A and B are shown apart, each in its own frame.
Chain A
């Protein structure tokens, strides 16, 4: 079955006066129809840039230098701007982090929804208003008919995010990209919003690319997860596998560093020494090797490709099948 989104060998470059920075380096992944893929990474790992590259909204001078992006089989990374604009909203919906700035403060909620619907569908304004009202009810806004006439500032943060979700889903897109949709919200509201996104997308058969730094949200919501480090893929696989049995040393370190309610009370947190390298100082070979507890010679010189490990795929020489063979051969 054709994946909804297929990214192959994506490379995003940012030319600066100090040289060309590679924000994303050789990234490949698929999202199947109806699936939720989590894209996880810390600041600077490149997760937001990935979302921006897919939807064609990279801040210049950043640009897609190499690779292919396909939506339901057809390429979208080389489309002219007009076509890309039509694609946005209609087939790819976006949910951004800050609901305060995602909505235009000068226009009523109802008007913004109707505008979006009319941009992508040829129906009458009255039909659009009806659809807008139904959408608002679907996302859990009570007395939707009434609230169509409200302005964004009259809503609370969680309500605004629901409206943003309604906007994203208005044209029935095949893919929804959600970039840190709950980071700006209170903890008690986060869970509600995440559940809402998941339910609505499942009902419509839309795929979701959920970009976040919060592994907890991923564990609850995603089917598969892709872990980014310094613009490169570290690990990708089913959520259960990656979270419970991480195969890449970075993922393992990350999971160990996350505080959880089942940790031993009052203990120190496991930590990874050092920090993620900045884009202008990415080490040769494996980007993680200076911080890796299992580093050996090859890691310093060569960049590891992604190896299948039996559960997830990890870009780490520890999982090189040749190595296991060689070790076995050597021992024999």
Chain B
């Protein structure tokens, strides 16, 4: 063998563990370098933790009708002269503790949000992969369906599906399926962005030589798509997903606000805002304002995280 082995001037650098690579990476560096991002991440984590641990953390269970007492309704927050320490942020018109309802409501908001984003990804990414890789009729059909989908505003699509489900299931059975229906209706209105982004990235990657090398050894298209191309196009999907999450939460809140989302016995942040809306000008401001602030802060934090992720993953900005 020739002296080609002497390529490295020093001993080859030892391979690093996965954790080491994360800590060394440019992404982690940009994360720690931005106070806004760190703050957003902390806030998001706190809110998510609070929602997950709601049964342990919340002083009351607002979803249990037995624990509610009309006598306690419309109490102001604790720092008000009429406030009671039992209900830190006051109560709504049915005697539900606003703080507890916010915590439980966030669970609904976050779970519906996550689930619908996951559904949108599960629909959009494979369709985008297929459209980009196979081209021709598959591409044309998928993209035309996407175009049609985009002509309908997300809320409208969600309302439509919701209404149809309600009609089919009837008001009684509807309450049992309301969550899957919500997730499906929101998820179906968002898949298009993923499909389009992925399709664009696939068009670029599919011509690269590592894909040719894979075809050369006879790999089937499915294997090439999922093992080779998918890892390389998933970056933008993460960014869209993060920003989408915020949008999904708002959409669910809007639907609940409009009265076509979650049932009134299991209020989400949106429902609370709607309930409180009626009382806003008669003086019981806390029913709307506190859930509103929570929603705004949650959505802002998630959006900022998404912004950071997009910039961090953009090689040109590094």
Contact = CB atoms under 8 A, between A and B. Distances in A.
B29 A290 contact: no
Interface string A279-297: 0010100000011000000
Main secondary structure of the interface of A (DSSP, over half): loop
A277 B6 CA distance: 13
A275 interface: yes
B7 interface: yes
A17 interface: yes
A250 B44 CA distance: 57
Contacts of A19: none
A281 B7 CA distance: 14
Interface in B1-23: 3-4, 6-10
A277 B29 contact: no
A273 B29 contact: no
A274 B6 contact: yes
B9 A274 contact: yes
A281 B29 contact: no
B243 to A, nearest CB: 27
Contacts of A281: 9-10
Interface in A236-293: 273-275, 277, 281, 283, 290-291
B7 A275 contact: yes
Contact of B29 (A17, A283, A291): A17
A17 B26 CA distance: 9
A275 B7 CA distance: 6
B208 to A, nearest CB: 20
A316 B158 CA distance: 75
Interface residues of A, number: 9
A32 to B, nearest CB: 37
Interface size class of B (residues with CB under 8 A): under 10
Contacts of A291: 9
A273 B3 contact: yes
B32 to A, nearest CB: 11
Contacts of B29: 17
Interface string A50-85: 000000000000000000000000000000000000
A283 B7 CA distance: 15
Interface string A145-183: 000000000000000000000000000000000000000
A281 B8 CA distance: 11
Nearest to B4: A273
A48 B114 CA distance: 48
A273 B97 CA distance: 76
A273 B10 contact: no
A217 B29 CA distance: 43
Interface in B40-78: none
Nearest to B24: A18
Contacts of A274: 6-9
Contacts of A283: 9
B210 to A, nearest CB: 21
Nearest to B29: A17
Interface in A6-20: 17
B2 to A, nearest CB: 9
Interface of B: 3-4, 6-10, 29
9 pairs of A and B residues whose beta carbons are closest in the complex: A290-B9, A273-B6, A273-B3, A274-B9, A274-B6, A275-B7, A274-B7, A17-B29, A277-B9
12 contacts: A17-B29, A273-B3, A273-B7, A274-B6, A274-B7, A274-B8, A274-B9, A275-B7, A275-B8, A281-B9, A281-B10, A291-B9
Given A275-B8, A290-B9, 16 more contacts: A17-B29, A273-B3, A273-B4, A273-B6, A273-B7, A274-B6, A274-B7, A274-B8, A274-B9, A275-B7, A275-B9, A277-B9, A281-B9, A281-B10, A283-B9, A291-B9
